[in-house]
A and B are shown apart, each in its own frame.
Chain A
């Protein structure tokens, strides 16, 4: 495979918002099937017809949106380097492929990717741009009843400074399939200031189980836009645990749709913020069917001038009786300049429900510090221990032991650095 997949370097006037950039890009990819070209075109049209940014967009409340501007982006990243995967031992019916490979080998496999929607929680620009420009992404598919014995590992590499990697991904598990997926986002210390725009669409069939762990360790100058949409079918079970450490600014949009009865959605997220990191997280739990459960726990610990925004919504449709839905946001402020914004929301239309949300923001209890102090633990160390204990609760849910340790170690390391 030696097709020229990167844009010609002659494009000196690269700008994501200019039509000629897209036109030249489309020309380079004229070998793609027509329907994919149409999809790209459609996304581009939608992107270019986005209204001027309204100052008061509720979906961006509290967020310094300018930090997510696309103007500094000067090139597309090399798709061959920005996404790599380790294929587990061959199991029939379980496949992990790269998007650009599939375009050549079995293009029809991509149609579902273009049909499913993104989370649509505010980052329309990134979402459409990903649709238009994505040259890579992973497609994880498991046939009925297939269960993977070892986790599938996917690595997203933060690109060079000023470059953006668009990844358009799909996970499709048929009935009763079971998969563990580890997604790692890595950066190199000297590669600073890259952009990753990652759009993930997930569809779980009846009784399917997806166990996903995401560990994001990009550089402290990266811009990370993570958009994920989980469609959860009958009695299916989705568990996603996310650890966010890197990124100068990250925008996380997660949507869990409980489509049929018995579906379960479990979402855990941890962010340790330092320096001037911005963590802008928007989640929504959509209950469309009766007898579904969802549980969300987002914990942020903020040092120095870090800022976190949590905006979550539980939406229960009229048909979704016997819903059990929870949403919790806990913020720990470790410095006088840290800031935590919290927008927990409920929209309930059914009446036979148990729904609650809780949001707390506080510092470390001075008594706890004092206790540790009396045991001879210095203040800095004690703070670290307490904060670590506070954050690791979410990660302890990770089913896969090895990954759990990796995540906990990454968190502990982030504290010492």
Chain B
């Protein structure tokens, strides 16, 4: 392991406040006025405003899904949340207010000083403008559109309007309705036919202009035969005071297209992260969700793929790490809607301390289809006495031409394994960490290289103090 070098932080530099300009603040609470205000600030077309207002009504009508989900959802107070903060604005905070554990993690991950402040929410701007604009030029040459949700709907309605809100309808669930009402930020991406991007697109580089959104809206359309990998989030912990994050991510893979969507979620431990992610895969298209959840108080996220064209393929690869006070409620949905479609779900979760990791899955195969296949594997590792793990898959298969297999197992690191490594001179914590890394290793490899390195370090970090 790389020994952490002591980085001196210039505290003075981060110690400032923003002036509060109320003309760009929608205030707290949710109402029609707030929606109209957001839409006005963004100078949106009337149809977008209508879309938002309808969504607000749906949100108000929908009950909390507590008949199956955790009661913890009831602790969300929708009336004290700020639903929109304009460009460059964030609740002000000084470096001293950032918790020690977050600072510590920055150091261990070796994050540059400048970036730390941005991630900690002390500074709103992180200067990666240069990297982004260079990337933008290259992309534009290929005809790739990579913009924010507001620009996407305003400047390219001919492309995005067709699919916007189609993969995940507003009324899908209470939180998709909330997002549809107040969304801002996120990425709208269009990849022209046949374009295969060699480099992954990173939200990270573009997003600094408007900050990581609370209610991000992302729509990626990969036209026929194109290929794209999109990376969202980063491994460093993001310290947030806003406690509700509810994103909607829609992917459309047209005939023969390939989309890989990589997420590393590491919100701080006070955040409710309630995300709706779904993809549509046309004929011979392939969609992969590669997902890692480390942070947040409660994450509810079940990436799905609707396999609508013949031979379409969907995959979810997911790692969840639940530590004290955390509930990682993740899973996958595979809806087979065409012949010879196949899907694969591999989910691994680790529960440490009093953490709780849950897997919820859904697989559907109607009877008129032929040759559909699904494979689901969920493995859970429990580290301490107080940790909890649950698995709740739901599988529906009709007809005699499809096949599904699901398997889940729960285990702990065996005393023999630890003992063996201790005999070879490793400390107990090191041995434990090695076992845990071994448990998730085949999935970590699916992440881009720089992510996987940081992921391993993060797991080490989370494991610290959990043994003994």
Contacts and interface: CB of A to CB of B under 8 A. Distances in A.
Interface of A: 54, 56-58, 61-62, 318, 331, 333-364
A91 to B, nearest CB: 43
A357 B408 contact: yes
Interface string B376-411: 000010111111111111111111111111111111
Contacts of A349: 386-388
Given A337-B398, A348-B380, A360 B385 contact: no
Contacts of B397: 331, 333, 339-342, 361
B400 A334 contact: yes
A358 to B, nearest CB: 5
Contacts of A62: 394, 396
Output the residue of B394, B397, B404, B412 with the most chain A CB within 10 A. B397
B141 interface: no
Given A351-B383, A359-B395, A360-B405, 8 more contacts: A57-B67, A336-B399, A338-B400, A339-B367, A340-B398, A343-B394, A346-B389, A353-B382
Contacts of B392: 343, 345
B385 A359 contact: no
Contacts of B368: 336
A110 to B, nearest CB: 36
Contacts of B380: 346, 348
A360 B403 contact: yes
Contacts of A346: 380, 389-391, 408, 410
Interface in B348-395: 367-368, 380, 382-395
19 contacts: A61-B394, A336-B398, A336-B400, A338-B400, A342-B395, A342-B397, A346-B390, A346-B410, A348-B390, A349-B386, A349-B387, A351-B382, A351-B383, A351-B384, A357-B391, A357-B407, A357-B408, A358-B405, A362-B403
Interface of B: 67-68, 367-368, 380, 382-412
Given A54-B67, A346-B389, A356 B396 contact: no
7 interchain residue pairs of minimum CB distance: A362-B403, A351-B382, A356-B409, A363-B400, A346-B391, A342-B395, A361-B397
B399 A337 contact: yes
A358 B379 CA distance: 12
Contacts of A339: 367, 396-399
Contact of A318 (B67, B385, B393, B411): B385
A318 B404 CA distance: 32
A342 to B, nearest CB: 4
Nearest to A357: B408
A348 B394 contact: no
B406 A351 contact: no
Contacts of A344: 391, 393, 406, 408
A353 B410 contact: yes
What's the dominant secondary structure at chain A's contact region? strand
B151 to A, nearest CB: 39
A319 B68 CA distance: 25
What's the dominant secondary structure at chain B's contact region? strand
A58 B391 CA distance: 15
Contacts of B391: 344-346, 357
B393 A343 contact: yes
Contacts of A360: 403-406
Contacts of B407: 356-359
A56 B406 CA distance: 25
B412 A351 contact: yes
A326 to B, nearest CB: 10
Contacts of A343: 392-395
B280 to A, nearest CB: 24
Contacts of A361: 395, 397, 402-404
Output the residue of A58, A335, A346, A364 with the most chain B CB within 10 A. A346
A331 B404 CA distance: 10
A363 B393 contact: no
Contacts of A347: 388-390
Contacts of B383: 351
Contacts of A56: 67-68
B385 A351 contact: yes
A359 B392 CA distance: 12
B195 to A, nearest CB: 39
A160 B382 CA distance: 53
Contacts of B382: 348, 350-351, 353
A58 B67 contact: yes
Contacts of B398: 333, 336-340
B406 A342 contact: yes
Nearest to A328: B407
B395 A348 contact: no
A333 B399 contact: yes
A333 B370 CA distance: 13
Given A337-B398, A357-B407, A358-B406, A345 B367 contact: no
Contacts of B389: 346-348
Contacts of A359: 393, 395, 404-407
Contacts of A338: 367, 398-400
Given A58-B67, A344-B393, A337 B367 contact: yes
B367 A341 contact: no
B396 A341 contact: yes
Contact of A333 (B387, B395, B400, B408): B400
Contact of A356 (B367, B395, B403, B410): B410
A288 to B, nearest CB: 16
A210 to B, nearest CB: 28
Nearest to A347: B390
Contact of A363 (B67, B390, B401): B401
Contacts of A363: 400-403
Contacts of B396: 62, 339-342
Contacts of A345: 390-393
A350 B408 contact: no
B153 to A, nearest CB: 34
A340 B363 CA distance: 12
Contacts of B394: 61-62, 341-343
B174 to A, nearest CB: 13
A220 B391 CA distance: 35
Nearest to A315: B390
Contacts of A337: 367, 398-399
A14 to B, nearest CB: 34
